[in-house]
Amino acid sequence: MKNITVIGCGYVGLVTGTCFADLGNNVCCVDIDPERVSNLNRGQLPIFEPGLAELVQRNVDARRLRFTTSYPEALAGAEFAFIAVGTPSGVDGEADLQYVRQAAIDVARNMRAPLIIVNKSTVPVGTGDWVAGILREHQPQPIDYWVVSCPEFLREGSAIADFMSPHRTVLGSLNSEAADRVAQLHLSLRAPIVVTDLRTAEMIKYASNAFLATKISFINEISNICEALGADVKEVAIGMGYDKRIGASFLDAGIGYGGSCFPKDVQALAHMASEKGRHPQLLNSVMEINADARRKVGAKLRELLGGQLKGKTIGLLGVAFKPNTDDIRDAPALDIAAELLAAGAAVRAYDPVAMPNARRAAPALHYAENPYELAEGCDALVLVTEWNEFKQLDFARMLKAMRNNILVDGRNVYAAGVMKAHGFNYRGVGRGYDGSGKTEEQT
């Protein structure tokens, strides 16, 4: 059993701390938000993540996990301090490191024994060296410390499984002994451990997310061409995916990526490249294609509604950027809704989990209690988030409630023939009949 401090009780910090506690360690999570800490001590989580609430409660009950606002309390007896605070995008796309800086200062001022500081937050290349300098500058008296980079690779909606069964653990440090001690924390996960230097470890995180975002934008570019040429992008992706050099993951055409990682990380990597005089043309194209994927929803609706959105009522099935999360950060639904509202449409929305966050972010939308209430009087529905709940709807009931029969499937969840049989005027993404002249019977 090791004594671990986790700084930040947001998504990464809470999952990391809870999972380390479940592995048998003594974990104290510290956060500067008193309300968040108070809620956590009452069992109320700030995020929705399947299985996390139960895991938190189990480890709190076992006295392996606790929450505090006090750095002296959190660092008392600690051997490791994981920095897991937010790094939002700055004005020019750079990662905002103000919370990382403050966490490093607070650690420096309150540590009383040698400590390994682990950067878990996604931070620009070079941050590990920078954090080491902050620690040295703000220590009241010299105490040994070592900085290790251990980037997170957690997917929202499956974060616990990703922590407990990772594809790999990446560690970077200038001190091999410190890296080895952090590696020991991860040995029970039985996954490959990559040990490298600080800057390379930081780069691995950005390069990984940028590559996955690139796959999404690539298949969306192909879907655009499929629509023009009469091919079906779903079948194209299946045929591509059998090639092990390509793989099927992240080849789902749709309305693009969102969330707290891909948009921010691709933009930050492009910013880092530009600052060093490089031209990140691929990364810029990835971001441009992703933005276009969202705008295509409005274009499809205009085409299907006779070129006019003003006075029309559009229902959005889903608001969260992906299923199994309540996260609406950079969610495609918000951009789509904003475009429709600007065009004079009335916009309704329903999401199984993300409605409280959506109401705060987009108060101009009307929020329904269920999909069937959402459909009432709608001229068109748009499938935005592929929640399982939306895959087995009573489509006859949905259609009966609507004013018109238009369904735009932004995630290619439904079969075109089945939807047509239900009576919908259906459009997917890259399915070979949007603007190509190919009939739905031929799909």
Catalytic site positions: 261
Burial category of 177 from C-beta neighbours within 10 Å (exposed 0-12, middle 13-18, buried 19 and up): exposed
Say how far apart CA 44 and CA 296 lie, in whole Å: 39
Q: In sequence order, what are the residues at sequence separation of 6 or more whose Cβ sits closer than 8 angstroms to the Cβ of residue 298?
A: 309, 336, 339, 340, 343
Q: Which amino acid is at 348?
A: R
Write out the DSSP string of 53-78.
HHHHHHHHHTTSEEEES-HHHHHTT-
Say how far apart CA 33 and CA 40 lie, in whole Å: 11
Return the structure tokens found at 358: 């959506």
Closest CA to 2 of 33, 25, 28: 25
- Give the Å distances, CA to CA, from 278 to 89, 90, 122, 199, 203: 20, 20, 21, 18, 15
Q: Backbone dihedral region of 93: left (phi > 0), alpha (psi from -120 to 50 degrees) or beta?
A: left
Write out the DSSP string of 216-272.
HHHHHHHHHHHHHHT--HHHHHHHHHTSTTT-STT---SS---SSSHHHHHHHHHHH
